[in-house]
């Protein structure tokens, strides 16, 4: 699985510029960005193919040091929140492979990331300060109409994510 980090996140983490990953199915690629949301540092993670989003709000220094692990946990929580079984989630991660930090995956996936962030600022619901993963906010954004890179029609990220799961035979 490729975790494409934006330049602002690279600077925030004081990382060296990562390499471009090997070409793989964009369903196994995620774009990562850091923003301030409701006064807290927020990691925004968006699937490059279908714009499915997960949010981690209020990460501490120890969480940033375990970035890949936190991202995988967030993706798993996002999938569980949408009704996927543990077996289906494990199948996704097995097909995706080990997490690797890379550059982002092109203009359109990053544009999708930016659109999702724009929509986030219109959500009035307060964050849950007791949890890193923000389920309510993710559910709302994953039902925002869009046209991601992996699909020609307009629809919702949650529906596109399901279509990708079906395409790979993880669900029927």
Give residue 112's pLDDT: 93
What percent of the chain shows pLDDT beyond 90?
Answer: 96
Q: Where are the alpha helices (DSSP H) in 17-133?
A: 61-65, 67-81, 86-96, 107-120
What pLDDT shows up at residue 21?
A: 85
Q: Return the residue matching tokens 């930016």.
A: 114
CA distance 161 to 67: 22
Low-confidence ranges of the chain (pLDDT < 50): none
């Amino acid at each position: 699985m490729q975790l494409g980090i934006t330049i602002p996140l690279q600077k925030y983490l004081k990382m060296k510029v990562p390499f471009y990953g090997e070409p793989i199915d964009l369903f196994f690629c995620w774009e990562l960005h850091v923003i301030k949301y409701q006064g807290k540092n927020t990691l925004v993670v968006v699937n490059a193919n279908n714009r499915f989003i997960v949010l981690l709000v209020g990460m501490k220094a120890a969480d940033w040091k375990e970035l890949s692990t936190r991202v995988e946990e967030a993706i798993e929580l996002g999938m569980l929140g949408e009704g996927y079984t543990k077996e289906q989630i494990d199948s996704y991660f097995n097909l995706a492979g080990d997490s690797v930090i890379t550059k982002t995956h092109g203009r359109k996936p990053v544009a999708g990331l930016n659109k999702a962030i724009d929509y986030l600022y219109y959500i009035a619901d307060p964050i849950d300060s007791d949890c890193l993963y923000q389920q309510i906010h993710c559910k709302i954004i994953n039902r925002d109409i869009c046209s991601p890179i992996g699909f020609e029609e307009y629809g919702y990220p949650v529906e596109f994510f399901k279509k990708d799961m079906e395409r790979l035979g993880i669900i029927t």
